Structure 1
Amino acid sequence: MPRNLPLPNQPGAARHLAAMLKPLIEANDGRCFMLCTSHAMMRDLAEQFRATMTLPVLLQGETSKGQLLQQFVSAGNALLVATSSFWEGVDVRGDALSLVIIDKLPFTSPDDPLLKARMEDCRLRGGDPFDEVQLPDAVITLKQGVGRLIRDIDDRGVLVICDNRLVMRPYGAVFLASLPPAPRTRDIRRAVRFLAVPPAR
């Protein structure tokens, strides 16, 4: 998780975040999924990346999911900016994908009707809707997103989670404990150096 992240709703958040992530994506020569929790942030980030990078930037919704994945793999140096439909059921193995960036912890919107019903049921049973419904759901979704990166024993890569709540909220420890064991850093320069060194063969 990088330091000095913009607040999610502050003006210019997408511009700030894109500028922060650009060195990582370029050091990796693309080969990156940028997974967003909202369509608005997805579109804003894609616009910023297209304005500042020469790498191909693919955007969910501009063609079918299958065609996007085909374009991503065949390009060999693309950035794919997408939302939750890419969080599961996608299998890109090896060097074709070695950087996954997640803009926010994937909590379901509190306005979601199914979530509301489950939370109310939990409340009626005397439970804690956040700890028993919202948090476990978000942890499972995050693990699915992380699963896009390491699909095979020989895969290597970098996962970036752009959400201060990982270290600012007590529940951040629950998310961190759910992730596979790996070196962690808040220094983007360290991640850039890792990505810039080709894997040993």
Structure 2
Amino acid sequence: ELKHLMSASGIQLLAQGITGGSPGKLMKTFKTSNQAILLGTNHFWEGVDFPGDELTTVMIVRLPFRSPDHPLHAAKCELARKKGRNPFQTVSLPEAVLTFRQGIGRLLRTSGDKGTIVILDRRIKTAGYGRLFLDALPTTSVSEMTDSELEAYVTGKNA
């Protein structure tokens, strides 16, 4: 449905598993496209660079908590437990906020950069720890959108 909506609006949708190709190929296609949306997975959270106005919006579907099954993460959590600490508060949450900052950094690399950050994960407003993510944003201009407002924003059409 998203692919058809974007196509009808003249926007190319790029994503692993949808359009095919390696992350490198998807990034190259994205950089050379006039209007494209790149749906990225964990690969795009760090180590990628879109200088200048190559990137105008970062859309975060889920807050970037690491899977509890990830071996290194599980080991860090176990160590925190053994030390009598809360693994979520001392490991999972700080790592997720750091990754979140890195994701925002894809958009805002220099003080002159500007753009839009769209966060779809409702936990940013409903969970007690959501404030930590909001505080990690480089600007204080935060607003909420309805689904139809978001669709209008993404497609460039009036709601």
TM-score (norm 1): 0.67
* CA contact 1:94–1:154 (8 Å) conserved in 2: no
Structure 2 equivalent of residue 157 of structure 1: 115
Higher normalized contact order (CA 8 Å, seq sep 6+, divided by chain length): 1
Structure 1 equivalent of residue 37 of structure 2: 79
* CA contact 1:105–1:163 (8 Å) conserved in 2: yes
CA distance in structure 2 between the partners assigned to 1:174 and 1:75 by the alignment: 34
* CA contact 1:76–1:96 (8 Å) conserved in 2: no
CA distance in structure 2 between the partners assigned to 1:162 and 1:187 by the alignment: 10
- Determine whether 1:182 maps to 2:140: yes
Q: Which structure 1 residue ranges, 4+ long, deviate > 6 Å from structure 2?
A: none
Q: Deviations over 1:40-66 (max 9, x none)?
A: xxxxxxxx3212222111112522222
Q: Deviations over 1:37-93 (max 9, x none)?
A: xxxxxxxxxxx3212222111112522222221211111211111201011111112
TM-score (norm 2): 0.83
Deviation at 1:96, TM superposition (A): 1.8
Q: Deviations over 1:148-195 (max 9, x none)?
A: 1112333211001111111111111111112212311003549x67x9
CA distance in structure 2 between the partners assigned to 1:172 and 1:148 by the alignment: 21
SS at match of 1:80: strand
- Could you tell me which runs of 5 or more consecutive residues in structure 1 were left unpaired when the two chains were aligned: 1-47, 197-201
Deviation at 1:146, TM superposition (A): 0.7
CA distance in structure 2 between the partners assigned to 1:59 and 1:167 by the alignment: 27
1:167 corresponds, among 100, 122, 125, to 125
SS at match of 2:128: coil
- Determine whether 1:100 maps to 2:58: yes
CA distance in structure 1 between the partners assigned to 2:28 and 2:79 by the alignment: 42
* CA contact 1:93–1:152 (8 Å) conserved in 2: no
Structure 2 equivalent of residue 91 of structure 1: 49
SS at match of 2:53: helix
Structure 1 equivalent of residue 2 of structure 2: 49
Figure out how many residues of one structure are paired with residues of the other and give that number: 148
Deviation at 1:141, TM superposition (A): 0.8
Percentage of matched positions with identical amino acids = 41
